[in-house]
Amino acid sequence: MKKNKIKKEFLHKLEFFYRNLGSIWSVEDFTNNRDVQSLLKDYLLVLEEKGIVEIIEGNKFKITNLPSSIMSCQSNSGTKE
């Protein structure tokens, strides 16, 4: 699976999980694949800068904002990930 597709699917899952299941998660909750876990851990740093997540420790993080609210604002301004 391509990296951009993995990231996009992760954002959709974050949105769903935050709306329906709670805000504190671990990378392992989203995949068992070690390579994908590594990619997502790196991506969490980007998402933290954008105000979507707060990294708690290790692989644990808290979703602090809906990804759609942040990402839609950026796509409207012409910026890309």
Residue 61 CB partners (closer than 8 Å, separation 6+)? 24, 25, 26, 27, 44, 48, 53, 54, 55
* 81 within some domain: no
Q: From the centroid of its chain, how far is CA 63?
A: 8
Please write the tens of the pLDDT for every residue from 1-40: 699 999 999 999 999 999 999 899 999 999 999 999 999 9
Q: 37, 38, 45, 47: which is closest to 15 by C-alpha?
A: 47
Domain residue limits at 9? 3-76
Q: What is the CATH number of the domain that holds 24?
A: 1.10.10
* 33 within some domain: yes
Give the total number of structural domains in the chain: 1
* 68 within some domain: yes
Determine the pLDDT at residue 68: 84
* 62 within some domain: yes
pLDDT above 90 (res 77): no
Please state, in angstroms and rounded to a whole number, the distance separating the CA atoms of residues 41 and 56: 12
